[in-house]
Amino acid sequence: MSKAGYDGPLEQVNACCWRIPKSYREGMRVDGLIYADEHMIEEIRGDQAPEQVANVAFLPGIQHASLAMPDIHWGYGFPIGGVCATDPAEGGVISPGGVGYDINCGVRLMRTNLFYQDVKPHLRKLMDRLFADIPAGVGQGGKHRFKKKELRRLLEVGVPFLQSRNLATDGDVAHTEAGGCLEEAVPEYVSDRALERGLNQCGTLGSGNHFAEIQVVDAVFDDHAARVMGLDKDMICVMIHSGSRGLGYQVCDDALKKLRGVPAKYGIDLPDRQLACAPVESPEGEEYLGAMCAAANFAWCNRQLLMWQARESFEAVFGKNWEQLQMNLIYDVAHNIAKFETHTIDGRERRVCVHRKGATRAFPANHPETPEAYQEIGQPVIIPGDMGRASWVLTGQDGSMEQSFGTCCHGAGRRMSRTAAVKHAKGRRIDQELAQQGIIARARSRRGLAEEQPDAYKDVNVVVNVVHKANLASKVARMRPLGVVKG
């Protein structure tokens, strides 16, 4: 994160929203809007992320506003928590910086029929088994390996490819965003280097903020929505957070190199070269989009295999198959992605390219892309917090369609860089501190735990309060961590 703060204008729109007027800098095509409360906005001013919100407002074809969620912090090009929609019919662009290096980094939540008292005596054994079964850490390969031809097929069709191998069910597909497949994927646009990096990484957790977590539902705020999701107080859940691993990183890296001179080619003037982009309707834009969608399909498959391995761990510890344990997927949402969606803008429906970078869909009830199981209540919105506090599940609300292109925050958001977090943890044992809270942490390195310590993140409860009050998403249940596997 940048050390310098933001000293530009921030006008309060309401209790949950602040405006950077497009008059702030010549070249801004729309205003910037940041969702935050009065306390959070002061912390946000201490970072340069609001300047990035203003930078995004320069992009050709941008609609309504350059948006940022309350988990906003400094990122590459776009801030983390940044959202923008561009209209291809108006020369709208697609920007890898608006998706991120970890394409389709996302999170999935799985319920069980186990309750806290059922798991408490077996928790240490369960965490040991998960840590043994789920490959975690930098460069770790997994047991699910694919030949290049198979991997290309996986990139093309996503989770249904795993279903053909009995590694996914109809229910898994139905409860994954987009059915676990973006049809615009073009595996031929994925480089050989990216393919090499992905051959043995599908079904691996990775490092950084990725995790597999055992959680218990400690509070229910919407009884009806919780019942629809199959959740109950004191029920055990599993949350998995990971993305497209080295394959997705390489796709982004390849694209940024190819797009370096493209804005100038199309006469696009940008305030930050990290916003490198191409018109959606251009050969360069189409190539990035095809590769990005392929990487997104890989990420959904990665989380599917991670969930499958978690199911196998529970089976081994509890002596029942996962179906008997009712380990059903509630939902899987993407956090780093660009998707074509229809939204009402200035009174008319338009097909736009929505960039969500550290942000997630929050589609309401009765929306055509809300899964059938949740048509009545709205799409589940999964917001993980740090490993010492809580995570949340909410439902998308109509306000998200009116304000944010159907978007909500994706997590708590960092408030401390990884370097600063390691310095802050000097002389401490984060695993022991978590153990004192009753949380078992398993990690490949102490540094990884130091980087991801609870103090490094904003309070997820405060972040969730903002999106709830703003009517972007509505609280359903809060889960507290019992055990976590980190890279």
- Return d(Cα 378, Cα 404) in angstroms, integer: 16
Bridge partners (DSSP) listed for residue 241 = 107, 211
**Is 5 in contact with 46 (CB distance < 8 Å)?**
yes
Catalytic hit among 144, 367, 410, 468: 410
Length reported for the chain: 487
φ, ψ of residue 178 in degrees (nearest 5) = 60, 20
- Return d(Cα 66, Cα 19) in angstroms, integer: 10
Q: Which two tokens stand for residue 77?
A: 């090009």
- Return d(Cα 359, Cα 337) in angstroms, integer: 9
- Return d(Cα 50, Cα 483) in angstroms, integer: 35
Residue 77, CB-side half-sphere exposure with 13 Å CA sphere: 26
Element (H or E) spanning 157, and its range? helix 148-157
Give the Cβ contact number of residue 45 at 10 Å: 17
How many whole angstroms from its chain centre is CA 143? 25
**Is 73 among the catalytic positions?**
no
Distances (CA, A) of 150 to 147, 158, 187, 250: 5, 11, 11, 19
Match 């043994």 to its residue by tokens.
132
CA geometry: angle 240, 232, 229, nearest 5 deg: 60
Q: Which two tokens stand for residue 136?
A: 């975690």
**Is 379 in contact with 469 (CB distance < 8 Å)?**
no
Task: Find, among 383, 382, 372, 311, the residue nearest to 113 by Cα.
Answer: 311
Residues with a catalytic annotation lie at 410
